[in-house]
Structure 1
Amino acid sequence: MAAPPKMLLHLLLLLFSAVEIHSNAEENFDVRRHLSTVTRYHVAKDISESSYVPSSIPDQCKPIHLNLVARHGTRAPTKKRMKELEALASNLELLLENVKEWESSVQKIPPWLWGWKSPWTGKHKGGELISEGENELYQLGIRTREKFPELFHENYHPDLFPIKATQVSRASASAVAFGTGLFSGQGNLGHGRHRSFAVTSESRASDIMLRFHDCCQNYKEASLLNTTDQACALFTPSEVGLLEWTDDLEVFILKGYGSSLNYRMGVRLLEDVIQSMEQAIKANEDGLVPGSYELARLRFAHAETLLPFSCLIGLFLEASEFEQIQREEPLQLPPKPPQKRIWLGSTVAPFAGNNMLVLYRCPANISGKYFVQVLHNEYPIPLPGCENSNFCPFEVFKERIAAPHLKHDYNDICTVESERKSPTCKISQLLSWLFPSNAKIHQKDEL
């Protein structure tokens, strides 16, 4: 193997020298809060905008239904990342061998680098939910039950608390961990009196509710080991901020507000959320007692699900930006540090990140009978589409926030133009010509 250029070695040594100068520059800086979408939940959930004062909910208002959209918990690196780490170890070994010829420079190299190996060397599988991720969802389940006892005091039934997850194992495992915490003490299994519960999944090939990004053809075109004194220490806080910003830019452009396609392909999920709330309102108006209708709809998926859903309901926007997305206009990219920005991957979609939409029923003497409270990572968050309130009249939420997106159809958004002209489509068109209009519905059923 050829030796690396000496210029690369000089750059490596300059980096180590800079570390000595800046290592104690900001003792209070915690790199774990700046890892974009691979930030751990226990670090991310308490990063909130302290200046925001949430709306107070009248005592007479009671929750009658909850929608949850959650990302899976902390996972192991994927196979691709593990291969990259092994390649990094090989390159470092080669670089360090060549540094030995400069004896005066050897002392500048951090001791941990000598003989460094990837912690995942020898592993052949990756991406699974790890124990830290299990605990994130388990504790979230416990806190959810404690926060909304009116919704979760009923005995479990799959029709009352449907739980859905994607077919990716880390998502379904997260659903199981959450359910174990949510229903702990309600069963007869083991010392924790756990109980069994159902988790359902759609096929990966057709899951346009929680893995719409996989099915949308138009769209296709320090965190794990808690180690902060090795590779992370090679960068100053300002450099970490720039690295975080580049990650956030990528997330913004590819999964967030960078393109309306990114989030509008989630319209089926938004439609499902609105439908579940309308069903709860009807059950309430019909006088059905709690326990006879669905109380919570719980979903577990991925960053590619949570991010678009957050965009669909207009989170992390200024009021003027909300008007822009309603008009389908592109947004400015998140500003470069040290300027402040609302869009932070570490808060928008950390591991186990989540949105809860809680439907409340209020007395008739309050302006409006049904309201939606939005919680992001368990904290109230302002809705620019509802005058920055986090407690929004349901009809306002439905008409102002959801309706502009729901006018779009998933198939129209996601079907590649060439597929629309495929033989199958042409056959359908031919059939529509051959059969009279009053027989179209029957013909579709027959096909």
Structure 2
Amino acid sequence: KTRTSPLPTESEGQRSKSRLAMAPPATPLPFLVLLATLLAAAPLLPPAAAAEPEAFDVRRHLSTVTRYDVSRASNSVVSAPAISDECRVIHLNLVARHGTRAPTKKRIKELDRLAVRLGTLVDEAKQGPDTASLKKIPSWMKGWESRWKGRVKGGELVSEGEEELFNFANRVKERFQDLFDEEYHPDVYSIRATQVPRASASAVAFGLGLLSGKGKLGAGNNRAFSVLSESRASDICLRFFDSCKTYKDYRKRKEPDVDKQKEPILEHVTSALVSRYHLKFTTQDVSSLWFLCKQEASLLNITNQACQLFNEDEVHLLEWTDDLEGFVLKGYGESINYKMGLPLLKDVVQSMEEAIIAKEENFPDGTYEKARLRFAHAETLVPFTCLLGLFLEGSDFEKIQREEPLDLPPMPPQRRNWKGALVAPFASNNMLALYQCPGNDGKKTSQDQKNSYFVQVLHNEAPVSMPGCGNKDLCPFEEFKV
């Protein structure tokens, strides 16, 4: 096993300046050799810039447990590309993750076990000879109980998640006013979700925002609307990860490797916490405490308990372990991760083709679909994001085309594009807007169309360029669908 060298006890002022020191791994794994070298040699934070550094906020570093509004505020968006006034949006595809949720039943049990474990650690410290070390134990830890203690159900959409989707829908309605000015019909505005309650509840919250004021129900003039779902066993568009045996086999085979890659980080942080608080933490304790930090910060807005156990350097490293897991098991780590999402991409392209036919043949409004709105999971959104080629490093897109393996996301303090807090926070989404522009610039399409059609991709509501389309902001549809 890889072992970390013990860290000396550090004062509060020294924590942010800590350095990692790790012994080389006993096993000849190239990744662990590289990891140990980086941890031993590299400072964890980049040199201070001339400008005033932005205040550290742990809520921006919770990987895929990050709240949507926090993620959007953290994302530096370049100005949106100019779209000609003569162009108008004629169709919208949306693929969204569910909003902020409660911890699952399995995780609730983990937090209950953590409460028992923390009680044991505190009791052991009280019985030890060094009474002075008791002052180092955080006061919240004494007698701590999980906020979810006694609950036998979990994973549901919480009120904050409802607000995320409701407010998101209002912004979508404002951005694409011409698209949503028509009377609601389920064949015009198709809303789909998986059969998992938090996904369908997210669809309902979005629908309430989108159709607010469109009906006669209650003070908000709401109206009823339809949400369609496929069975879990046959939903190859939104739950392809459940029905793809090749992917299941890959994940089962790869998970132990990911755990081994995360182990040096957990051992280092464990060593630091043992030295800092004089409690006999294990790596499992630290893993559970990091999970507790994410739940407290994201769901309860509490950052001065579990999260305060870790200094900034350690938060960056723990965040990286989460991002590494998402990259390998859901993202670019293996082509099967995103290739299994091709039925979803095919469904998106088909909906655009149908919208183009409707426009070319002058179908009257109300007789064709204008939006296809889908609500699912991170395991849906991340592969779809990869199919669009987003969040790659350098020449990675060319490597993907050649089906070559990609390097893992760079470790802190190096910058990286793949961050779970930006790729797939709660309520994360990809929107694909189809625009119709007059004329075709003298270029005949395969269908000899009278108009030109372009696709704009927005990730978490921010326009992004498409690597598969020469990094264009607006991709000609014929080029997009190739």
The question of a shared fold, defined as TM-score above 0.5 by the shorter chain, is answered with: yes
Correspondence for 2:314 among 216, 236, 239: 239
CA contact (8 A) 2:16 2:312 kept: no
Who is 1:201 aligned against?
Answer: 229
Provide the C-alpha distance between the structure 2 equivalents of 1:170 and 1:115, rounded to a whole number of angstroms. 32
Partner SS state of residue 362, structure 1:
strand
Who is 1:85 aligned against?
Answer: 111
Correspondence for 1:347 among 422, 430, 433: 422
Distance 1:367 1:185, change over 3 A: farther
Distance 1:14 1:134, change over 3 A: farther
Provide the C-alpha distance between the structure 2 equivalents of 1:139 and 1:24, rounded to a whole number of angstroms. 40
CA deviations 1:247-292 (Å, max 9, x no partner) are: 1010000000000000100111000000000000010000123332
What does 1:350-389 align with in structure 2 at a 5 Å threshold? 350-364=425-439, 366=441, 369-389=452-472
Sequence identity (%): 62
Who is 1:191 aligned against?
Answer: 219
The 10-residue stretch of structure 1 (108-117 or 297-306) with the greater mean CA deviation from structure 2: 108-117
The one-letter code matched in structure 2 to 1:67 is: N
Who is 1:281 aligned against?
Answer: 356
Provide the C-alpha distance between the structure 2 equivalents of 1:355 and 1:90, rounded to a whole number of angstroms. 41
What does 1:39-54 align with in structure 2 at a 5 Å threshold? 39-50=66-77, 52-54=78-80
What does 1:262-281 align with in structure 2 at a 5 Å threshold? 262-281=337-356
The one-letter code matched in structure 1 to 2:73 is: D
Who is 1:22 aligned against?
Answer: 15
The one-letter code matched in structure 2 to 1:31 is: V
The 10-residue stretch of structure 1 (246-255 or 102-111) with the greater mean CA deviation from structure 2: 102-111
Provide the C-alpha distance between the structure 2 equivalents of 1:45 and 1:27, rounded to a whole number of angstroms. 16
TM-score by length of structure 2 reads 0.77
Provide the C-alpha distance between the structure 2 equivalents of 1:224 and 1:24, rounded to a whole number of angstroms. 29
CA contact (8 A) 1:165 1:301 kept: yes
Provide the C-alpha distance between the structure 2 equivalents of 1:14 and 1:224, rounded to a whole number of angstroms. 34
Distance 1:54 1:387, change over 3 A: farther
CA deviations 1:112-135 (Å, max 9, x no partner) are: 111111110000001010110011
Shift of 1:311: 0.6
Shift of 1:20: 6.3
CA deviations 1:129-179 (Å, max 9, x no partner) are: 011001100111111111101110101100001111000000000000000
What does 1:383-402 align with in structure 2 at a 5 Å threshold? 383-399=466-482
What does 1:400-439 align with in structure 2 at a 5 Å threshold? none
Who is 1:426 aligned against?
Answer: none
Partner SS state of residue 107, structure 1:
helix
Who is 1:300 aligned against?
Answer: 375
Who is 1:334 aligned against?
Answer: 409
CA deviations 1:391-410 (Å, max 9, x no partner) are: 111111111xxxxxxxxxxx
The one-letter code matched in structure 1 to 2:477 is: F
Provide the C-alpha distance between the structure 1 equivalents of 2:160 and 2:11, rounded to a whole number of angstroms. 33
Provide the C-alpha distance between the structure 2 equivalents of 1:391 and 1:226, rounded to a whole number of angstroms. 38
Who is 1:431 aligned against?
Answer: none
The one-letter code matched in structure 1 to 2:111 is: L
Who is 2:175 aligned against?
Answer: 147
Provide the C-alpha distance between the structure 1 equivalents of 2:467 and 2:11, rounded to a whole number of angstroms. 43
Partner SS state of residue 81, structure 1:
helix
Who is 2:267 aligned against?
Answer: none
CA contact (8 A) 1:86 1:117 kept: yes
Shift of 1:53: 4.6
Who is 1:76 aligned against?
Answer: 102
Who is 1:253 aligned against?
Answer: 328
Partner SS state of residue 140, structure 2:
helix
Structure 1: 5+ residue stretches without partners: 1-10, 400-447
CA contact (8 A) 2:393 2:416 kept: no
CA contact (8 A) 2:214 2:223 kept: yes
Correspondence for 1:115 among 137, 143, 147: 143
Provide the C-alpha distance between the structure 1 equivalents of 2:422 and 2:400, rounded to a whole number of angstroms. 21
Who is 1:33 aligned against?
Answer: 60
Provide the C-alpha distance between the structure 1 equivalents of 2:327 and 2:54, rounded to a whole number of angstroms. 30
The alignment's C-alpha RMSD in Å is 1.9
Shift of 1:323: 1.5
Shift of 1:108: 1.6
Who is 2:290 aligned against?
Answer: none
CA deviations 1:407-441 (Å, max 9, x no partner) are: xxxxxxxxxxxxxxxxxxxxxxxxxxxxxxxxxxx
The alignment of Structure 1 onto Structure 2 pairs a total of residues equal to 386
Correspondence for 2:88 among 56, 62, 71: 62
Provide the C-alpha distance between the structure 2 equivalents of 1:212 and 1:390, rounded to a whole number of angstroms. 29
